[in-house]
Amino acid sequence: MSVFDVEQLVLGMRVVQLPLRTRFRGVTEREIALFPGPFGWGEFGPFLEYAPAESSRWLASAIEAAHVGWPEPVRGSVQVNATVPAVAAGEVAGVLARYDGTRTAKVKVAEPGQRLSDDLDRVAAVREAMGPDARIRVDANGGWSVEQATDALGRLAAYGLEYAEQPCATVEELRDLRITLARNGIDVPVAADESIRKAEDPLRVARLEAADVIVVKVAPLGGVRRALDVVAETGLPAVVSSALDSSVGIRAGLALAAALPRLDHACGLATLGLFDGDVVTESLVPQGGSISLRSVEPDPELLDRWAAPDHRRAWWADRVRAAYALLPHFVHR
């Protein structure tokens, strides 16, 4: 990847601001850069607060998509999950109605300002709406201590959880939680998300036996090949998730999910419903609970419609250069 001239990337770069249906991470639009290349388009969308070192992994992923290409798939479609935000129980049915045919739901819990009773009511509403055969997973985004997670998961286990995603913040806490759950006879597997994608050493999760499942995202790990290596080296089942991507970024997530030798769980790639705009005319959204692999090509009219102002493009150009300066260190370490 280091053979490319950074100015070549900047020259072809398009920067867009895609409107979001609801505020996310304090913003109402998703700003990303897109690069064309001989293998298609790559998406570079580290969140605005990310420093160059972390952003360099996202740039490696974008370059891989546009200039290297992905491994051959072993499946032609990928099952996906619905996502239920931390809404009131009475709103759950309306949220799930957007995901026709989906038989897995990820439910947000441990929301700041809410109570465990809110989580219990929300998960109960999901189980009632989806029926006894649906899979339900909860995502705490590291919001619980080990003691809080033990109590919460002991209660939520009554609804038949597929797993709990990042119930605690640190790898050590995840390890201790797994031990505590087993000791108390609470049968809820633990999944690691932030402990994989934001870690300097994502393999610590496996070494410390801190998770039963890992959640992987293409861009934060540096591309499809790097993510495949992480999954192989941990030896744990993987779920592929998005990072609030346009269809270009979702296609990279599908490339990873389609190339995994083993894929036992629905993936978190049905997130384009969070947007009020996209860069392609036919967005990569699920049909009957899955998304089929196909190529995507940004529409020039949509690129123009959502184009960021010139001063934002200049900001992104500097950001690409700063991330690129660190790219060889990431690729070769």
pLDDT of residue 1: 42
Residue 225 and residue 250 in contact, taking contact as beta carbons nearer than 8 Å: no
Mean pLDDT, residues 179-187: 98
328: confidence class by pLDDT, cuts 50, 70, 90: low
State yes or no: is 198 an active-site residue. no
Mean pLDDT, residues 239-267: 97
pLDDT of residue 26: 72
The more confident residue out of 329 and 9 is: 9
pLDDT of residue 329: 53
Q: How far apart are CA 132 and CA 202, in angstroms?
A: 34
Q: How far apart are CA 5 and CA 35, in angstroms?
A: 13
Helix axes 52-63 and 310-332, enclosed angle (nearest 10): 90
330: confidence class by pLDDT, cuts 50, 70, 90: very low
37: confidence class by pLDDT, cuts 50, 70, 90: very high
Mean pLDDT, the chain, rounded, equals: 94
What are the angstrom distances between the C-alpha of 79 and each of 104, 219, 258?
9, 20, 10
Q: How far apart are CA 31 and CA 28, in angstroms?
A: 10
Residue 68 and residue 332 in contact, taking contact as beta carbons nearer than 8 Å: no
What are the angstrom distances between the C-alpha of 216 and each of 3, 74, 163, 260, 292?
27, 18, 15, 11, 19
4: confidence class by pLDDT, cuts 50, 70, 90: low
pLDDT of residue 199: 73
The first and second tokens of residue 320, run together, are: 């690409």
332: confidence class by pLDDT, cuts 50, 70, 90: very low
| Residue 111, pLDDT above cutoff 50 | yes
Mean pLDDT, residues 239-247: 96
Q: How far apart are CA 127 and CA 239, in angstroms?
A: 21
Known binding-site positions for Mg(2+): 139, 165, 193
172: confidence class by pLDDT, cuts 50, 70, 90: very high
CA 151, 155, 160, 163: dihedral to nearest 10 degrees? -20
| Residue 46, pLDDT above cutoff 90 | yes
Lowest-pLDDT choice from 35-39, 288-292, 325-329: 325-329
The first and second tokens of residue 259, run together, are: 């190339």
Domains of the chain listed by start with CATH number = 6-70+300-332 (3.30.390.10), 77-292 (3.20.20.120)
The first and second tokens of residue 135, run together, are: 């899979």
What are the angstrom distances between the C-alpha of 151 and each of 93, 145, 155, 163, 180?
26, 10, 7, 15, 10
The more confident residue out of 324 and 195 is: 324
Known binding-site positions: 139, 165, 193
Residue 48 and residue 208 in contact, taking contact as beta carbons nearer than 8 Å: no
202: confidence class by pLDDT, cuts 50, 70, 90: confident
Residues in the chain: 333
pLDDT of residue 209: 96
Mean pLDDT, residues 222-231: 96
Which distant-in-sequence residues (6+ apart) come within 8 Å of 108 by Cβ? 83, 84, 85, 86, 138, 139, 141
Mean pLDDT, residues 206-232: 96
Mean pLDDT, residues 162-191: 98
Q: How far apart are CA 278 and CA 58, in angstroms?
A: 19
pLDDT of residue 327: 85
Mean pLDDT, residues 301-321: 98
Where are the alpha helices (H) located in the chain, listed in sequence order? 6-12, 52-63, 92-96, 116-130, 146-156, 171-183, 194-197, 204-207, 218-221, 224-234, 247-259, 300-305, 310-332
State yes or no: is 106 an active-site residue. no
The more confident residue out of 69 and 5 is: 69
Catalytic residue (one of 67, 127, 135, 217): 217
Residue 108 and residue 166 in contact, taking contact as beta carbons nearer than 8 Å: no
Percent over 90 (pLDDT), the chain: 89
> What is the reported pTM?
0.93
